[in-house]
């Protein structure tokens, strides 16, 4: 046995609970179609760098200023770097950071090469790779370039802007006076003449060109002309589209905007962090001071190492081809929705995202289908997206749209034909969903229920796409057990229904009261519309009940019980608001 206090052993040895959670999360990601526009699948090499021993090091401050502009070969020239470090040190507050300096300079250099616009050299770009998130990067720019009370001009949150662009819910909306530009109410597109007039009227000190749910690429040169007309800074936020900008699938604002910020975990497929780039050395110094010591302490050097690997990957032909396919897939998805008669918000897309107006898919008695409940129901069939506000929504708590992104499904090899299939699946599910509203303390509470068989068919179609897509886990019920889909086919194994609501749920869908059933008594399980689905024998056990359901109806019965527990299937059209009690555990 070693005579030290180093904790040895794998994660599975030291903490099997967390190891299992990681395994399950990996399985979830592979068993579903992830269409969150702000997510992507991070390559193994980047994850390895992020999980490295750079995690252990404190490195407050920055590398020596002379490392700016060095070529990659010079940065990695240890014969030069080690003596230089020992003689001249750096701008850090800690020692033992010689390799941190090298990996940070490497990340900066590769970022500069990736984003260097025509007519410029990487040496002209100043890169800060230390912000811990996109919101921190945005706040650092505010702190560096603005004074309290300065006017900032941003896209309205409900029209596609971001919280950290001056929302009243964010600190960025409290220190400055924020004025919002909006999309044209008729075209749902940006109107640059209106932007110009607003800027002349409000005289902002900074204009932000960047969006979280506006699906069209901006004209950064027009934004710069408007900013110059009022002597304002132009900040470009390409958090979502940085990978596309590197590949030429989206305009690159570096060299046009005074400062550009972006996150590294969306289309860039990197660690969860952020980067700020400017071509102005004075702005660069202000931003460096704003990030550290203004807003942060020590940087996460493991993430900086992962960024270095990420920026290397981002300059490969494979990465660039991926980004262009992401855009083509988004257009195909948008066209698929429109061909099915659904309303695509803003008229379409030329980026990686599509916004779908749920109200165009389903309404009942004047009650529209809303984004929150629609996203929950789609998640049940294996399509993961998010609710989103659109122009016309009153507040962010009740968004009426869904936002779909194509990075992840494109990474897994799905193409334009598959996007049309996804559009068809989404349409089928949403049109089979019946919305309703109940009255809460603060107004209407929107919900909905869907048809059992439509959900089953949609889940089968999603599964076919999942099996076609690239995958790095074994697809099986054993690897991803936490689903409502039946796992044992039409076998005769008993079905257990457990939990504090088990008796109430069964009482609501059996044709005989449980009190009348002797141990092993037979009743009929009622399905949608309270029509008989199967005969079941019921036996009470501690904590719940055991049901015997035989034959070909077993799988459907198990899925019915699980979906009843989830709360999103129609039990009785005439009493839509009366769902089954739950949740319960259904073991099959």
- Residue 424 sits at the vertex; the CA angle it makes with 572 and 321, to the nearest 5 degrees, is 145
Question: Dihedral through CA 377, CA 456, CA 573, CA 358, nearest 10?
Answer: 30
Query: Annotated active-site positions, please?
Result: 58, 60, 237, 263, 266, 272
Which of 23, 154, 41 minimizes the C-alpha distance to 476?
23
The DSSP H or E segment spanning 82 is: helix 78-88
Say how far apart CA 246 and CA 127 lie, in whole Å: 15
Give me 212's structure tokens.
């979280």
Q: Is the dihedral of CA 234, 235, 237, 243 positive or negative?
A: positive
The tally of CA atoms less than 13 A away on the side-chain side of residue 494 is: 13
Cross-sheet strand order for the sheet of 532-541:
521-526, 532-541, 544-548, 495-498, 585-587
Q: Is the peptide bond before 247 cis (omega within 30 degrees of 0)?
A: no
Say how far apart CA 225 and CA 36 lie, in whole Å: 33
The DSSP H or E segment spanning 403 is: strand 401-405
With b meaning 16 or more CB within 10 Å and e meaning fewer, what string describes 250-275? bbbbbbbbbbbbbbbbbbbbbbbbbb
Cross-sheet strand order for the sheet of 151-155:
126-128, 274-278, 259-263, 233-237, 206-210, 151-155, 177-181
Please say whether the beta carbons of 280 and 288 come within 8 A.
no
Give me 473's structure tokens.
């886990």
Please say whether the beta carbons of 24 and 477 come within 8 A.
no
Give me 204's structure tokens.
């902002």
């Amino acid at each position: 046995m070693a005579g030290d206090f180093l904790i040895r052993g794998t994660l599975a040895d030291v903490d099997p609970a967390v190891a299992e959670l990681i395994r399950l999360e990996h399985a979830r990601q592979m068993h579903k179609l992830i269409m969150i526009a702000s997510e992507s699948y991070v390559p193994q090499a980047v994850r390895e760098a992020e999980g490295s021993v750079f995690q252990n090091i404190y490195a407050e401050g920055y590398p020596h200023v002379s490392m700016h502009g060095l070529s990659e070969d010079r940065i990695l020239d240890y014969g030069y770097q080690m003596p230089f470090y020992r003689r001249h040190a750096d701008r850090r507050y800690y020692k033992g950071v010689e390799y941190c300096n090298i990996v940070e300079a490497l990340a900066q250099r590769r970022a500069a090469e990736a984003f260097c616009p025509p007519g410029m050299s990487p040496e002209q770009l100043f890169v800060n790779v230390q912000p811990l998130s996109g919101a921190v990067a945005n706040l650092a720019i505010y702190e560096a370039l603005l004074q309290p009370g300065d006017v900032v001009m941003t896209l309205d949150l409900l029209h596609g802007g971001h919280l950290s662009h001056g929302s009243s819910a964010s600190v960025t909306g409290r220190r400055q006076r924020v004025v919002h530009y909006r999309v044209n109410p008729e075209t749902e597109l940006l109107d640059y003449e209106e932007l110009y007039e607003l800027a002349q009227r409000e005289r902002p000190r900074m204009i932000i060109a960047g969006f979280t749910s506006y699906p069209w690429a901006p004209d950064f040169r027009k934004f710069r002309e408007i900013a110059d007309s009022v002597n304002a800074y132009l900040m470009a936020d390409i958090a979502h589209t940085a990978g596309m900008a590197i590949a030429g699938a989206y305009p690159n604002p570096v060299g046009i905007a005074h400062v550009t910020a972006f996150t590294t975990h969306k289309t860039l497929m990197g660690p969860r962090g952020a980067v700020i780039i400017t071509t102005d050395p004075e702005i660069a110094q202000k931003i460096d001071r704003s990030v550290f010591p203004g807003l942060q302490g020590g940087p996460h050097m493991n993430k900086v190492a992962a960024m270095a690997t990420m920026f290397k990957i981002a300059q490969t032909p494979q990465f660039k081809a991926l980004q262009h396919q992401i855009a083509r897939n988004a257009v195909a998805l948008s066209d698929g929705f429109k061909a099915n008669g659904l309303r695509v918000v803003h008229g379409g897309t030329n980026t990686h995202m599509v916004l779908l107006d749920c109200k165009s898919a389903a309404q009942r008695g004047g009650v529209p289908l809303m984004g929150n409940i629609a996203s929950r129901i789609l998640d049940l069939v294996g399509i993961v997206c998010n609710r989103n506000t659109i122009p016309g929504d009153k507040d962010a708590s009740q968004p009426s749209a869904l936002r779909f992104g194509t990075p992840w499904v494109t990474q897994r090899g799905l193409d334009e034909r598959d996007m049309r299939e996804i559009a068809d699946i989404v349409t089928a599910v949403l049109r089979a969903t019946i919305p309703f509203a109940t009255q809460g303390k603060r107004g209407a509470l929107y919900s909905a229920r869907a048809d059992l068989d439509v959900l089953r068919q949609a889940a089968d179609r999603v599964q076919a796409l999942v099996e076609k897509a690239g995958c790095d886990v074994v697809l099986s019920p054993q690897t991803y057990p936490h689903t409502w889909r039946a796992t044992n086919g039409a076998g005769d194994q008993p079905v257990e229904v457990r939990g504090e609501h088990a008796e109430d749920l069964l009482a609501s869908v059996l044709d005989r009261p449980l009190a009348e059933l002797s141990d092993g008594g037979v009743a009929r399980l009622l399905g949608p519309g309270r029509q008989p689905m199967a005969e079941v024998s019921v036996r009470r056990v501690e904590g719940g009940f055991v049901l015997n359901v035989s034959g070909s109806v077993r799988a459907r019965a198990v899925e019915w019980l699980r979906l009843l527990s989830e709360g999103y299937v129609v039990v009785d059209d005439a009493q839509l608001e009366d769902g089954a009690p739950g949740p319960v555990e259904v073991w099959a």
